[in-house]
Amino acid sequence: MSFANPYFEDVRTKPEVIDPPQDEDMMDVSESVSDPTRNGGKPNVAVSSSVRELLECPVCLNVMYPPIHHCSNGHTLCSGCKPRVHNRCPTCRHELGNIRCLALEKVAASLELPCTYQTFGCAGIYPYYSKLKHESQCAYRPYNCPYAGSECMVVGDIPFLVAHLKDDHKVDMHNGSTFNHRYVKSNPQEVENATWMLTVFSCFGHYFCLHFEAFQLGMAPVYIAFLRFMGDDNEVKNYSYSLEVGGNGRKMVWQGVPRSIRDSHRKVRDSFDGLIIQRNMALFFSGGDRKELKLRVTGRIWKEQ
């Protein structure tokens, strides 16, 4: 959807996790709705669609958290968007000032909302002020596409992403916990920050992503291979893997724990959590006249007992 009002441009941001306000009046409301002995045993008020619309910022369309501002005509705005519209109400163009909408903030304190990821399976209902904190850690929150060769913005659950990698990115899929891959490049002097290879392995009822990439480490071009687990951190600790590369009677071995795809490809790469091969060593392993890269990377994945 596009908007004609310039104030609506480039202001859709993800809200930060915000703790409940410490204002005395606000805390009284929050306590009264969470204590069954003080409100007749009634739970927090479930949010209706009309109230949800009242709590939606008209600019970024995110749910508003205190401080909630409003203009002299009563139009509300979240605190994150207020400086971006240059202190002018995007609805009526009146000056916003520093007027807090305390009534709406008190209403918000009495509400419970479903998790944003309920379509992915989360059935939780959470108090207004703890909803964002839950969602930042929700086990049902979707994963980002692990493909690193492009800025892919696709998100989804694991089965969806596996199909996406196969159909849209044409990633090689393999069954088994061992691998033997050969990486060849005709001109290894050209090292760019680009992913060369992504291969997905299915074993132990899960999927693992093997990355192999050339990148610049300071002034030195290097190669790195590492494994990512298509799942959460609490599951990945059950698995280990090893990588081996060699040639001309020499070899290098790496052993570690896969990283969850919750960690971005760049985060794993920049932490050097994998098998790192300097270019001179890689060319030595390749043999010949050292003008062509020919690396064979072998490895295996196993489940810890």
The tokens for 45 are 């008020």
Arithmetic mean of pLDDT, 278-299 = 82
The residue with tokens 């409003």 is 70
Provide the pLDDT for residue 190: 59
Top-level class of domain 143-303: mainly beta
Is the per-residue pLDDT at 291 higher than 80? no
Query: Residues 33-48: pLDDT tens digits?
Result: 333 333 333 444 445 5
Is the per-residue pLDDT at 141 higher than 80? yes
Query: Residues 198-223: pLDDT tens digits?
Result: 899 999 999 999 999 888 777 778 88
The CATH number of the structural domain formed by 48-136 is 3.30.40.10
Arithmetic mean of pLDDT, 280-285 = 85
Give the predicted TM-score (pTM) of the model.
Answer: 0.69
Four-point Cα dihedral 235, 236, 241, 245, nearest 10: 150
Query: Residues 186-203: pLDDT tens digits?
Result: 765 555 544 578 899 999
What are the residue boundaries of the structural domains of the chain, listed by start? 48-136, 143-303
